[in-house]
Structure 1
Amino acid sequence: MRKVLSAIFFVVACVAIGALSGLANTPGEWYQALTKPSFNPPDWLFAPVWAGIYILIGLALAETWFDEDSGRNRRLFVFGIQAILNLLWSPSFFGLQMPILGLLVIVPLLASILVFIAISWQPDRKAALLFVPYALWVAFATMLNLSIVMLN
């Protein structure tokens, strides 16, 4: 029961932090005025995709937290790095209205997600697999961010 309650706590915390970050850094008119690539998804898609991803991130954190493997602390450290970079992206891109700064944040974010997957694969495949949709979405967001930098 303790693991289930903790997992619920981690998921709620991740979703709440993600939602607060999104609300504090809304795109606004500035973003609407940017030239975007043809593959830019509609604005309404971002919130539900991120909500789902934050649920998976919370579940991956719970998996890692309760894993008793000797490399757990290293995986939690990498998890923390990706979490900090995740939180920095929206204020960098939207808050400061600097797509180039967003790109400088999102590239190491993607790298840290991939490192988490790689170092989690053997000891905790479930945590690694929970991060795969996150990696795919951030890879797509990286291409989108780069395209916006190049078009504007």
Structure 2
Amino acid sequence: MSRLASRGQLRASFIRWALLCIPAVVLLGLLSGAASGNGDGNPWFASLDKPALYPPPILFPIAWTVLYVLMGLALALVCNAWGARGRTAAIFAFVVQFALNLAWSPLFFAAHQITAALILIVAMGIAIVATMVLFWRVRRAAAVLLVPYLAWVCFASVLNYQILALNPQADGASSSGAAQRIAI
């Protein structure tokens, strides 16, 4: 016998990794967004001027859900690559870029730090590229699955920059939720 595991055993191992990674990534991503009050339901964000290329708000939860599924699938492919050279470094890089991802929504939507969020999202893009390079060395398909994520983060970086340019007064602004009093 020249193989350590049959094809069926390898497939079952991947399925177990996918059943762990995909829901974990999707759940953490959605919780980060929900906990920070992201989107047009956020009064501070709703009051901001949006750039012309800002897509319909319904697109964001759909896009992020698809991207989180692809990210979880990519991670499962790498986690399943037992004995692959660079596997641990690739998983570590994924965790770093994902932590940056999870930090962006609270920084932007809850803390209203548009400039800091822009710096963070640029760092996230760099971390995604590093993750893709390391994933490519372990499982090429895993790196390819991250291409839409990188494209979306580049687009989100442009949106972040344009929102900052249109709303410099809102950077770091506190939002108490209290009504503004106007004297006549």
Q: Shared fold by TM > 0.5?
A: yes
TM-score by length of 2: 0.79
Q: Does 1:59 align with 2:59?
A: no
Q: How far has the Cα of 1:131 moved from its partner?
A: 0.4
1:121 partner amino acid: W
1:10 partner amino acid: C
Alignment equivalent of 2:28, drawn from 17, 24, 33: 17
Q: 2:170 maps to which residue?
A: none
Structure 1 SS opposite 2:121:
helix
Q: How many residues in Structure 1 have an aligned counterpart in Structure 2?
A: 152
Alignment equivalent of 1:26, drawn from 14, 37, 42: 37
Instruction: Provide the C-alpha distance between the structure 2 equivalents of 1:17 and 1:120, rounded to a whole number of angstroms.
Output: 21
User: How big is the alpha-carbon RMSD for the aligned residues of Structure 1 and Structure 2?
Assistant: 1.1
Q: 1:127 maps to which residue?
A: 142
TM-score by length of 1: 0.95
Alignment equivalent of 2:60, drawn from 40, 43, 46: 46
Q: How far has the Cα of 1:126 moved from its partner?
A: 0.6
Q: Does 1:91 align with 2:102?
A: no
Structure with the larger helix share? 1
Matches within 5 A, 1:66-105: 66-67=80-81, 68-105=83-120
Q: 2:124 maps to which residue?
A: 109
Instruction: Provide the C-alpha distance between the structure 1 equivalents of 2:121 and 2:79, rounded to a whole number of angstroms.
Output: 25
Deviation string, structure 1 residues 66-92 (Cα, Å, up to 9, x no partner): 113211111111111101100100000
2:17–2:79 Cα contact (<8 Å) kept: no
Q: How far has the Cα of 1:122 moved from its partner?
A: 3.7
Percent sequence identity over matched residues? Answer: 38
Instruction: Provide the C-alpha distance between the structure 2 equivalents of 1:121 and 1:12, rounded to a whole number of angstroms.
Output: 23
Deviation string, structure 1 residues 20-79 (Cα, Å, up to 9, x no partner): 111111231110111111000111110010000000010011111111321111111111
Structure 2 SS opposite 1:120:
helix
1:149 partner amino acid: L
Bigger-Rg structure (1/2): 2
User: After the TM superposition, which segments of 4 or more aligned residues of structure 1 sit over 3 Å from their partners?
Assistant: none
Q: What are structure 1's unaligned runs of at least 5 residues?
A: none
Q: How far has the Cα of 1:2 moved from its partner?
A: 3.1
Q: What are structure 2's unaligned runs of at least 5 residues?
A: 1-11, 168-184
1:54 partner amino acid: Y
Structure 1 SS opposite 2:55:
coil
